Structure 1
Amino acid sequence: MKHTVTPKASTGTTVQPSIEPEWVLAAKYHELTGVTPTAVHQRRKEGKWLDGTHCAVINRRLYVNVRKADEWIRNQISQRQRAF
């Protein structure tokens, strides 16, 4: 049986994650978007973001569903454009 040699990975390459998380901690969402955890709490309080859809509190930690939050933002933009 012949052995084959596999080439070494070149140095300096970065590996991109193959999946993007759907849920992130509010602190990470803040890093990504600039929307503070306080703003997320305010949107929950006002009923703009729904628990289990846009955000969730698990073990006293606030999570944001990035996809649903982006969808909500797109809807806000389109509603404002229709108003003009």
Structure 2
Amino acid sequence: MTPFIVTFYSYKGGVGRSLLAANIGILSARRGKTLLWDLDIEAPGLHNISGLTPAKTVKEGFFEWMISWQESGRPSKDADFGKLVKLACQTP
């Protein structure tokens, strides 16, 4: 399957962007490997969706993930959802 990128953008918050992204991500993961990446630094929402919440507390966000990739050449992974990989972007 040829890789493709789908982005969700909205100027206004509270319009369901995270919920839509989660549903599309889950549907896509049924077909193959999928990366669901929440880069909303001011109001991230993917970590609040119950079906996507990892069993353990997320200790690393996007910036820690990038640093680990730069240092080791491999990204760290905070949770395993089968074929769905989720990168959390949390506010401090």
Whether TM-score is above 0.5 comes out as no
Q: Using CA pairs below 8 Å that are at least 6 residues apart, which structure has the higher relative contact order? A: 2
* Short-chain TM bin: under 0.3
TM-score normalized with structure 2 length:
0.24
Higher strand share: 1
Higher helix share: 1
Q: Which has the larger radius of gyration?
A: 1
